[in-house]
């Protein structure tokens, strides 16, 4: 009799543990880029700095949600923290184009209404994610680019800065190195008579694009992404981040998605929308759908990662690189931050 009681107690404990695990509900997930991020190349100080800003970003967005603000407010506030920190390739820490400029891209999407806004190639907007939101809420359009987007942001009352604001030594040195590598590859390609494609020959090996997906108290999802693009990019190249359906997508019925990586492959695979479609039409979980699509990107030769959060509070953060700056926070405020694989 005693052994039966012990057995029953054990079974009950396991059931309680299982239910608790199933009830772990996330309200926000973020990324700060994926790429060749190795612990051996990271100083303890730099690692601590990344962890600190990712934690701060999560706390900032969580405070918005706790205050009853919308998921859009949470996403915008969270991304501001990362755009204002030079560790990431977004806002203040944006990489340089071949011409020595900083051209910024961003997108935001409302899962409740499917409204979206995006900007590409802006050079004077301090926080591009806010420009994307302004396009969504204060215009009839979804995307604006270049000087027109800069002017719109100014007219919308956003904070405008001198382009020098975005200059950082680390990113400038990164451009010089990329130009040097480009020149070497051009000579090698010419020598072996390979067909040369116009544009950059290198791709950025440390993607620092930032993104956030949030779920508010009303059950609405929002997703946003902000980036400085690719080091040494030419001809006004635009990646996946500001393209709705490629690098950013959100639908209350499925999930919010923000991507980071080699943009050309994310555009060609329409990554963010395809994840949503697999969930909607095939009934896959957010984790299953994300894995299938990222595997496809990898098979084509693309690398990077993504974050996704569904309407039930389930998250996934897959990547096929050596690391991805990432973090999440649960409904009860528990924070998780990771960098390496």
- 3-state class (DSSP) for residue 214: strand
Q: For residue 160, give Cα distances in angstroms to 97, 150, 251, 283.
A: 20, 8, 31, 44
**What angle, rounded to 10 degrees, do the helices at 71-83 and 128-138 form?**
150
Alpha-carbon gap, residue 143 to 53, rounded angstroms: 29
Instruction: Report yes or no: 107 and 256 within 8 Å, Cβ to Cβ.
Output: no
Exposure string over 226-243, b if 16+ CB within 10 A, otherwise e: bbbbbbbbeeebbbbbbb
Q: What is the DSSP letter of 219?
A: S
Q: What is the DSSP letter of 235?
A: T
238's tokens: 């635009």
Let me know if 209 is a catalytic residue: yes
Catalytic residue among 124, 209, 225, 321: 209
Alpha-carbon gap, residue 304 to 270, rounded angstroms: 14
- Positions marked catalytic: 209
């Amino acid at each position: 009799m005693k052994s039966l009681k012990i057995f029953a107690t054990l079974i009950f404990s396991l059931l309680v543990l299982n239910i608790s695990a199933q009830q772990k509900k996330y309200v926000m997930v973020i990324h700060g880029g994926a790429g060749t991020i190795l612990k051996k190349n990271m100083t303890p100080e730099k690692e601590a700095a990344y962890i600190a800003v990712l934690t701060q970003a999560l706390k900032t967005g969580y405070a918005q949600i706790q205050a009853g603000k919308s998921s859009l407010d949470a996403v915008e506030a969270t991304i501001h923290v990362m755009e204002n920190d030079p560790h990431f390739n977004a806002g203040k820490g944006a990489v340089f184009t071949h011409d020595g400029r900083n051209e910024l891209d961003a997108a935001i999407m409302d899962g409740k209404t499917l409204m979206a806004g995006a900007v590409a190639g802006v050079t004077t907007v301090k926080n591009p994610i806010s420009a994307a939101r302004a396009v969504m809420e204060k215009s009839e359009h979804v995307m604006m680019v270049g000087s027109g987007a800069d002017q719109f942001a100014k007219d919308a009352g956003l904070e405008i800065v001198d382009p020098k604001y975005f200059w950082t030594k680390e990113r400038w040195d990164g451009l010089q190195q990329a130009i040097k590598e480009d020149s070497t590859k051009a000579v090698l390609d010419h020598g072996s008579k390979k067909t040369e494609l116009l544009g950059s020959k290198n791709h950025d090996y440390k993607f620092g694009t930032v993104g956030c997906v949030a779920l508010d108290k009303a059950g609405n999802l929002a997703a946003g992404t902000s980036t400085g693009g690719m080091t040494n990019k030419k001809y006004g190249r635009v990646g996946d981040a500001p393209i709705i359906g490629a690098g950013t997508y959100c639908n209350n019925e499925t999930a919010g998605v923000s991507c980071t990586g080699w943009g050309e492959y994310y555009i060609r695979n329409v990554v963010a929308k395809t994840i949503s479609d697999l969930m909607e039409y095939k009934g896959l979980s957010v984790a299953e759908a994300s894995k299938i699509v990222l595997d496809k990107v990898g098979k084509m030769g693309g690398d990077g990662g993504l974050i996704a959060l569904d309407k039930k509070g389930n998250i996934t953060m897959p990547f096929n690189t050596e690391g991805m700056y990432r973090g999440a926070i649960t409904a009860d405020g528990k924070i998780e931050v990771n960098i390496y694989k």
